[in-house]
Amino acid sequence: MRRARPAPAICNTVERNVDVSDTDPLQRDNGHVALEFSSQGNGLVSLNGHRPVLVLNQNYEPLHVATVRRALVLWLSGKAEILETYEHEVASAQRRFPAPSVIRLLSLVKRPPVRVKLCRREVFLRDNYTCQYCGVRTHDLTIDHVVPRSRGGPHTWENVVSACRTCNHRKGGKSLAEARMQLLRQPFEPRPGRYYLVQRVLRSPVHESWLKFLPDLDVKGQRSR
């Protein structure tokens, strides 16, 4: 007596063109890829989101974060190897393979120069969540322009600091001299951490399969130590 086959997983066909005009070294492949994604675990693998893939350089240096689709294009074109996978599967018309979670490029890619994005979160991190006027450490901070914008002060790393609400209100639109206030230290543009390119595109904790490739990452705060 023949055993009944298990019901097939729900699949959706996804067909994408790879952009050949992008100057990013991770976006130079040409060609056309038709893939399916199937539910083989707790959820569905999306080819363009929800399941980020850590991309390592040839020397195992963290380089970028890609989509599942992008990682598979690199692997299928022979430009990368899959080191770690998710618990789900991705399928083409002829075959199935696990969805990659970590891939390594087979040729060395020169990292582009990177600058830390000027935003509230990065200013607070630079200042260690400390008011640069009174020294109180708190997460209830504001951004203050040392030379007020109303007086022509620029919105640059060298002119923005973290300030508690009390100090920000006290200083207002005055200069430091007028407000009789001093900075704890001069503001500066921070250097990007080792994993900055990876961290800036993540909105959730990293997958456990990434951790051995990010040995200095503070998992809770997702900052390189």
pLDDT, averaged across the chain: 77
Residue 201, pLDDT score: 63
CATH architecture of 115-191: Orthogonal Bundle (1.10)
Instruction: Report residue 95's pLDDT band, with 50, 70 and 90 as the boundaries.
Output: confident
Give the residue with greater pLDDT, 80 vs 32: 80
**Per-residue model confidence (pLDDT) at position 112:** 75
d(CA 2, CA 86): 33
pLDDT at 16: 33
In this structure, are residues 36 and 14 in contact, taking their beta carbons and an 8 Å threshold? yes
Pairing of strands 53-56, 96-105: parallel
Q: Which residues pair with 172 in a beta bridge?
A: none
Neighbouring C-beta atoms of residue 216, cutoff 10 Å:
10
pLDDT of 43 reads: 39
pLDDT at 10 over 50: no
Predicted confidence at residue 88, as pLDDT, reads 82
Question: Which of 17-21, 31-35, 80-84, 128-132 bottoms out in mean pLDDT, i.e. has the lowest?
Answer: 17-21
Q: Examine the pLDDT at 185 and tell me if it is beyond 80.
A: yes
Residue 219 has pLDDT above 60, yes or no: no
**Structure confidence at residue 32 (pLDDT):** 42
Strand, coil or helix: 120: helix
pLDDT band, very low/low/confident/very high, at 211 (cuts 50, 70, 90): confident
Tokens of 122: 């990065």
Q: Indicate the pTM of the whole model.
A: 0.57
Check residue 67 and give its pLDDT.
87
| CA angle, 19 then 29 then 87, to 5° | 95
Please tell me the predicted confidence (pLDDT) of residue 200: 67
**What is d(CA 191, CA 127) in angstroms, rounded to the nearest whole number?**
13
Q: Where in the chain is the domain with CATH 1.10.30?
A: 115-191
Rounded Cα distance between 67 and 73, Å, is 10
Q: Strand 80-91 relative to strand 160-164: parallel, antiparallel, unpaired?
A: unpaired
Please give the average per-residue pLDDT across 73-93, as a whole number. 88
Answer yes or no: is pLDDT of 198 > 90. no
